[in-house]
Chains A and B, each alone.
Chain A
Amino acid sequence: MIPESYLWEPVETLALILKWLLPPAYLAALWAYGRAFFREQGNGDPVSVAKAAWAAPLAVHSGLLFALAATFRRCPLWTQGEALLFLGWMLLLLHVLSEWSADTRRLGVFTILPAALCATFSLFFLGRELELSPDYRSSWFIFHIVASLASYAAFGLAAVLASLYLTQHRKLKAKHFDRTFRRLPPLDRLDKLTAVWAFLGTLLMIASSAIGAWWVRRDSLHGMTVQEAGIFVALVIFLGVAASRRVLGWRGRRHAIGVLWGVAALAFANLWLHGFFRA
């Protein structure tokens, strides 16, 4: 009789292969986008090289998530590594949407970078990660966390665009018309894209908070944790940013700075304050 551990598990093998393919797929995409942004002259048209550069990471990343789901027979969101991998996937999806809506590939090298970092970092976490407390393993958790990660991805993208806005703004004010200035899209477009993603993130975070609040109340899980309080502060900042844009006309630089403050608060709450996961 052959021990069960000796049997070949095709789905697990596929997950293992995809896990190792993930960083090279992102690297290839980053290389293509980097060429489109930085290369001014040379052989070939760099922008056409970057066409659908996201296809390989999207295929590998989606495949890995499905393979993990098939292996564990559950939604791959119950550990920190899985959550980070899922966040990377959401960031990649939003990158594709952003490329389509901004109608330029020049931003690709910046907007795909957070997805690449999340995906690569998650690989170090997978296997020796903090696990979700059993009390929280509910389908409500999945709705809550998916909306929450989608909002983080939208905020992440908004933060990248806000940083690019501030870079371009600084260059315009300093009359420093270098290659980065020439390659980045117009200020107005960067401002509008930042506003769209930040607003979408705010809506998703409101939805996530509402689901979460309803769920913990129903199951009498806990009161507001320190981390949730921190996230709530970040949500208030984002609401303030959206309202000041609408009511006071705080567009451009002020809006970009507001978005970055919101993302900083969110990062602080998630990285330094205690939350769902336990050692």
Chain B
Amino acid sequence: MNQKPVLKQAFISSLPVLMGYTAMGFAAGVLLAAKSGVKLPALWAFLTSATSISGALQFMLVDWIRTTRPMLDVALLTVCLNIRYSMYGLSLIERFRGIHPLKKLYLIWSLTDETYALEVENKVPPGGDSILYCLTLAGLNHCYWIMGVVAGALAGAALPFPDKGIDFAMTALFLVILTDQCRERKNRIYAAVGLAASVVCALIFGAQKMLIPSMILMLSALIVCRKSLERIAGTPPEPEDEVKP
């Protein structure tokens, strides 16, 4: 059948992401040009945004480049930042089953928060190809993100401006994510566990070395106190709901 309505609907669904990604990407690109000290910011903006497609990571990268963070730290921090992605696939396993491996690889590679939300919403027109819809959405969102980050890096490199304090954008991004997560009552106790564990580790180990001990302490607390935390959060785990297609 004619799949043109599917492409059209995918484009319409992606429009809010166009606004969000170009603007957020632009900010991350400006930060990269201003603070990382790399010689060709637009090139690195393109390479990192095209391969990782991750907002928080794009901001965090700037700090890692500036301080030449060791790769083990980089890998562990990437896990911290993006661990939520490892949950998204659970609700898409059935939908993506049996499709061409390259298509599947691309759909997995491009699974950002926003793309995931739109794919789960799945506003594909009746009789339309759901995988084509997802591929189009993912491809469009991917392009928007790269466009935003590269444009920001070009603008930041071309127009130097008084940029002292611009690195607060990363802190602000984490505060926004945390604020949204804490809207849900059940998340608050787990945020508190992370907060307590990391404050303790920051006091003992200092900023430079706090992250790995914090992760270990936090995970231990989450596993050991699992039952009482679930009681406080007020939500028994419902694994049944997690694997529905």
Do A and B come from the same complex? no
Q: What residues make up the interface of B, taking CB atoms closer than 8 Å to A?
A: none
**Interface, chain A (partner B; CB < 8 A):** none
